[in-house]
Each structure stands twice: as C-alpha cells, then as structure tokens.
C-alpha cells in the first residue's frame, strides 16, 4: 500500500470539441501505474469527493487513482451546461475523459467509474458510448438519464426532488453569470427564497410560474422535472446493449431512486452488451435514504450492522473494483440486502428472490374504511359483495408526507409514526389481523385498485405500513398513480367521471419482516404531499392551474372489482 497520496487540483483535459474540463486527481505518490476510478459531477468536484459509498482516500491508499471532474459548464470546467446535456454532450465528454485517463502515465489502462444520483446518470451516458478502457462502473442510487423518472407514477412528479435540485443547480449558474458581468440580484433572491422557505415553495401554484423557473438559465431545469421526455423517447436512450461493463449498484430502501436502481440491475442482467457485463451485475441495498448510510433513520434504529462502518460499504466498492479492474479472484454476491424488522443482511443470486411466493391480500370493509379506527380489513380471502369506500380529496388540504422516500429541505425521510395521517377521513386503512407468526415481505410490490372518481383526472396513492402491538404504525414503502397516466405509456388519457378503472400502483421494492403480534396495513388516498405534486383534479396539464377542485373517490372491493396488494412473501424456513 502507498505511504502517501498525491493530490493534483484542476488538471485540464480537452474534449473532442476543444472544451476544457478540469479534475482533481488523488493517487499514490509513486512512479507506478494504477487502475483509475472516475467521478464526474455537476455539484462541484471539491464536494463530490466526499461520499458515504466510496472513501476516495481509502481507495487511493488501496492503490487506485481517483479522478473527480466537474462536467462541462459547471464550476471549474469550461463550456455551457444545459439540462439536456445528459442526452447530448455528457456521453461523448465521458468517453473522452475515460480515454484520456487511460493514456496518462500514472494509469495502467484499466478505468472504472463511480458516483450516485446524477453522477450515476453521467456514468450511464458514458458507458452507452462504449469507451474501450471503461472496465467497471458503480452507479449508486441513480437513473440511466436525466429526465427519466426515478419510479413509475403515471405523470405525478417527485416535488421535493424538484424543489431541492433546482435551486442547488441554480447557484453555480448565478455565479457564472455574475463573473460575466451580469446583475444576478433577482436570481439570487429567488434562489434564497426557494431554499429558505420549503413549505411556501411546495405550496406555490401554478407550478409553471415557480419564481426560479422565470429565469432563462433555470427554466429548462424546472421544466424537465415537470415535463420529462415521453416513455418512447426515454427507451431510445436506454442503450444497455452498448454497455460492456460489470456494475455495482447501491441504494437504500428509503431512497427516492430505489426502483430505478433495481430496474438498471435487471435490465443489465438481460440486455448488457457482453457476457462479462450480464454476469457481473451486483447490487447492495440497506435501510438508508438517498445518498446517506446510517444505522438510524427516521424514528427507527436498524442496529450497528446497518451503519457505514459495520456495513463496510466503501470496502465492498473497493472489492468490486479489485475484481473487475485488477482481476482479483473475489466472490461478490449478485444481491446483498438488509432485511428490516429482523435487521440482518442476506445475499441472493437473483431478484426477485427465487423462493418468492406471491400472495394477494384483498381489501375488505363494510363501507367505512376511513381512518385507522374504521372497519377496513386486509386478508387472503377474496371479496364477494361489499360496499365500496368513499372519501373526498381536496387538493388544498392534501395528505402530508410523513417520512418515506423523500429528499430535500423541509422533509424527513425514512420510517415515521403515521397516526396523524391515519386519523384523516380521506385516508382509507385496510389492516390484517394480528399475525400469529412473523411474515417476511421481500421484493417488488404492486397495488391493484379498482376505483372511480368524479374528476377527469386525479391521483391514487398507496402506502404499506407496519402496525405494532401498541397500535403505533410505521411506513415502509409507498406509491402513486396519476389517473390520466394509468397506462404508463407517457400518453395522457383523461378518465370518464364515474367509470370504474383499474389503477396499478407501483410501490418499488422492500425487505421487511412483520413480527408476530404486528399487523400489515395498506393506506389508500389521493395525495402524499410534498413527496409528490398535488393533482388539482381539473384535467388540465400539469403546472397550469392556480386552484384545484375537490372530488369524490370511490374504492371498490367486490367480485369483479377486487382491490388488492400483491405481496412477495418469503417462506419462513429462513434462519431467524
């Protein structure tokens, strides 16, 4: 191992169109050649070098050269950054950077990449250009392209993400404009207002007139969140067949991008561009939020083995690069995941788990499932003739987001007690009987909801909850479907008021043990705000309206219209 680390700051490289990009390089202070790991970031390379997932000094001590580069038009790099850069210049820029690194005298020609969130998308853009010296990549908690939604919602947007990302990206825009002699007083005022007032920012209507979105350089960033590319356009950009590299994914069960991380893993197993790539897919999932590794999240303590030291997240990333950049004979499981409720790590050869038993748990009531004290029930028995449940959804009094897969200022992610939500009349609660033995739910979840609405467009939400013997209730995973996007094809199709439709609510993946004496609960409503934007129920396109209207929602659970959740149950033979 090297005794000292050399740091070179603002090292320039020239792209094919002559743009200068700058990087900080951390490498062993010797004359040897080393494998390299590239981070490309729009968030300032001096900050992005700090990661819970890979300690760059630890990696440098392990014999790697770490290159952290500002992307085009951000911070120390030249050129212009645009919101659509991911689809235009980032792939070629990434390709040029990988090949430049491989040609440097301190590199042995083996290059990997790493980074989370937007940095993961940058890796996909690079890998889909097939640079010959890119041998491995670690796209943590990320998507395969900016504008691709982190999870299927039918058109509902992750509002807290938009509210956090837009002012964050705007800061460097303001700095660059000011350096060029422009007056940015009003822009900085809008940035500060958005950062200082998270609740007012979330409440602001109409969305298209959000103050920061009125500035030319910021408008496209905001609009990309409101109006992502249609599914057909996204699919053209998902050129997994061009990706030749093994991948090490990592994310949290309470991560906003958990679903997309698993989708990337599954797509590469199926469509990766080489046998080495298809067979070299690995994923690590803990009880974590977006970008952070902690043993304590929300209101629950998951034990020391969930924390950054005991989970050895950085060490696992280094082992991955040792295997695929250095050719070391190291066994790495395809899937390593944390079972919440049991608080233990498990490994698997595939996902969903091969031993999964899919079981439908049906909704029941006598027409009064409103609130946790209503008569809603959840069981394996199929319904016959039952009264539907009815509630009124007022978009100006939305159900608040309490915990969950949220990200940004003013919201707390993770598992939190849900009693305040479950006292509302616009929240339906369907609860199982007390469990006589523990039940493990591990894998992807879907709710199939048969419903009518009095509107042309609206939302339906679902939440899986663990109810303790003392009646306290903690959220596990949630989802939403916008009625006009119920077909998940990117095409808006308004509904006919009063017409029964089936709404499939994709809730992503989880791993949770419901203990003996606990109950499994499903909450159904029409808002989860500000995690998601409110549907104002007018039928107009998103962002247009300053006021919404209240609507009546009817949830059916009867023969022919049996609403249910499909749970991935793991047999109880597993070691406890």
Give the model confidence (pLDDT) of 449-468 as tens digits: 999 999 999 999 999 999 99
* 443 CB-near residues (< 8 Å, 6+ apart): 351, 352, 353, 356, 509, 510, 511, 568, 570
Instruction: Report angle CA 177, 223, 199 to the nearest 5 degrees.
Output: 90
Does residue 232 register a pLDDT over 80? no
Closest of 386, 334, 356, 396 to residue 529, by C-alpha = 396
Q: Residue 147's pLDDT is what?
A: 44
Q: Which residues contact 500 (CB under 8 A, 6 or more apart)?
A: 450, 451, 452, 556, 561
Yes or no: domain 5-150+232-348 corresponds to CATH 3.40.50.1820: yes
Q: 82 pLDDT exceeds 90? A: no
End-to-end CA distance of the chain: 40
For residue 456, give both structure tokens.
């042309």
Q: Quote the percentage of the chain above a pLDDT of 90.
A: 87
Lowest mean pLDDT: which of 82-96, 270-284, 368-382, 546-560?
A: 82-96
Arithmetic mean of pLDDT, 501-516: 98
Residues tagged active-site: 117, 255, 290
Q: Do residues 452 and 499 touch, judged by C-beta distance below 8 A?
A: yes
Beta-ladder partners of 22: 12
List strand residue ranges (DSSP E) for 72-127, in order.
107-116
Q: What is the pLDDT of residues 329-354, one digit of tens each?
A: 999 999 999 999 999 999 999 999 99
The confidence band for 309, taking pLDDT boundaries of 50, 70 and 90, is confident
Residue range 390-398: mean pLDDT, rounded:
99
Asked whether residue 146 carries a pLDDT value surpassing 80, the answer given is: no
Span 149-205, pLDDT tens digits: 678 899 999 999 999 989 998 999 999 999 999 999 999 999 999 999 999 999 999
- pLDDT tens for each residue of 83-136: 778 888 999 999 999 999 999 999 999 999 999 999 999 999 999 999 999 999
User: Hey, which bits of 126-265 come out as E strands?
Assistant: 134-140, 247-254
Contact 37, 25 (CB under 8 A): no
Q: What is the pLDDT of residue 234?
A: 55
Mean pLDDT of 298-304: 97
Confidence of residue 235 (pLDDT cuts 50, 70, 90): low
Measuring CA to CA, which residue among 55, 29, 43 is closest to residue 114?
A: 55
pLDDT at 150: 75
Options 3.40.718.10, 1.10.287.610, 3.30.470.20, 2.60.120.260; CATH for 357-570 is 2.60.120.260
Give the pLDDT confidence score for residue 123 in this predicted structure: 96
In the predicted model, is pLDDT for residue 231 greater than 80?
Answer: no
Please, which residues have CB within 8 angstroms of residue 182's CB and are 6 or more apart in sequence? none
Q: How far apart are CA 174 and CA 185, in angstroms?
A: 9
Residue 575 has pLDDT above 70, yes or no: no
- Residue 229's pLDDT band (cuts 50, 70, 90): low
User: Which positions ≥6 away from 405 have C-beta within 8 Å?
Assistant: 254, 255, 256, 258, 290, 413, 477, 478, 508, 531
Pick from 140-149, 408-417, 508-517, 541-550: least confident: 140-149
Paired residues of 140 in beta bridges: 116
Question: Out of 36-50, 196-210, 231-245, which region has the weakest mean confidence (pLDDT)?
Answer: 231-245
Residue-level pLDDT at 444: 98
Strand intervals (E) in 34-89? 34-41, 65-70
Q: Report pLDDT for 233.
A: 53
pLDDT of 230 = 62
Average pLDDT, rounded, for the chain: 94
**For residues 157 and 62, what is the distance between their CA atoms, to the nearest angstrom?**
41
pLDDT at 148: 59
Give the lowest-confidence range in 43-47, 198-202, 209-213: 43-47
Domain ranges of the chain: 5-150+232-348, 159-226, 357-570
* Beta-sheet pairing, 300-301 with 247-254: unpaired
Using alpha carbons, select from 409, 474, 458, 527 the residue that is nearest to residue 163. 409
């Amino acid at each position: 191992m090297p005794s000292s680390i050399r740091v070179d700051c603002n090292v320039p490289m020239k792209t094919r169109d002559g743009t200068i990009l700058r990087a900080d390089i951390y490498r062993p202070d010797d004359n040897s050649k080393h494998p390299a790991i590239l981070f490309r970031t729009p968030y300032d390379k001096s900050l992005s070098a700090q990661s819970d997932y890979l300690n760059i000094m630890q990696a440098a001590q392990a014999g790697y050269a770490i290159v952290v580069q500002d992307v085009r038009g951000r911070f120390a790099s030249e050129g212009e950054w645009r919101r659509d850069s991911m689809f235009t210049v980032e792939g070629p820029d990434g390709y040029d950077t990988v090949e430049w690194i491989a040609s440097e005298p301190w590199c042995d020609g083996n290059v990997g990449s790493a980074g989370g969130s937007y940095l993961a998308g940058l890796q996909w853009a690079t890998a889909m250009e097939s640079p010959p010296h890119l041998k491995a990549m670690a796209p943590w908690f990320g998507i395969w392209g900016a504008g691709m939604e982190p999870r299927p919602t039918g058109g509902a947007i992750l509002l807290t993400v938009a509210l956090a990302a837009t002012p964050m990206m705007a800061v460097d825009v303001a700095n660059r404009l000011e350096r060029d002699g422009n007056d940015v007083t009003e822009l900085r005022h809008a940035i500060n207002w958005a950062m200082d007032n998270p609740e007012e920012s979330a409440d602001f209507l109409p969305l298209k007139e959000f103050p920061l979105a009125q500035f030319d350089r910021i408008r496209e960033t905001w609009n990309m969140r409101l109006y992502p590319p249609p599914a057909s356009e996204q699919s053209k950009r998902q050129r997994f067949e061009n990706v030749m590299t093994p991948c090490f994914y990592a994310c949290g069960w309470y991560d906003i991008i958990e679903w997309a991380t698993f989708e990337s893993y599954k797509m590469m197993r199926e469509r990766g561009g080489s046998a080495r790539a298809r067979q070299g897919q690995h994923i690590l999932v803990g009880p974590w939020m977006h970008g952070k590794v902690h043993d304590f999240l929300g209101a629950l303590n998951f034990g020391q083995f969930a924390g950054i030291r005991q989970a050895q997240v950085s060490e696992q990333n280094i082992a991955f690069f040792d295997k695929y950049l250095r050719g070391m004979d190291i066994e790495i499981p395809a899937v390593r995941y944390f079972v919440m409720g049991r608080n233990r790590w498990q490994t698997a050869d595939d996902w969903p788990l091969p031993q999964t038993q899919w079981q439908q748990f049906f909704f029941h009531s006598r027409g009064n499932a409103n609130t946790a004290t209503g008569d809603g029930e959840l069981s394996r028995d199929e319904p016959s003739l039952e009264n539907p449940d009815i509630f009124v959804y007022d978009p100006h009094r939305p159900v608040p987001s309490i915990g969950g897969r949220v990200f940004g200022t003013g919201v707390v992610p993770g598992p939190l007690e849900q009693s305040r939500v479950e006292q509302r009349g616009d929240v339906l609660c369907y609860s199982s009987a007390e469990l006589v033995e523990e039940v493990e739910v591990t894998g992807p979840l879907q709710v199939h909801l048969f419903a009518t609405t009095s509107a042309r467009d609206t939302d339906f939400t679902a939440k899986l909850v663990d109810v303790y013997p003392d009646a306290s209730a903690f959220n596990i995973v949630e989802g939403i479907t916008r009625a006009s996007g119920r077909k998940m094809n990117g095409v808006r199709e308004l509904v006919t008021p009063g017409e029964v439709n089936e709404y499939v609510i994709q809730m992503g993946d989880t791993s949770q043990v419901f203990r003996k004496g606990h109950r499994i609960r499903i909450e159904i409503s029409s808002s989860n705000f500000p995690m998601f934007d409110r549907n104002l129920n007018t039928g107009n396109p998103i962002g247009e309206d300053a006021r919404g209207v209240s609507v009546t929602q009817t949830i059916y659970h009867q023969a022919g219209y049996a609403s249910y959740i499909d749970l991935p149950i793991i047999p109880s033979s597993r070691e406890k």
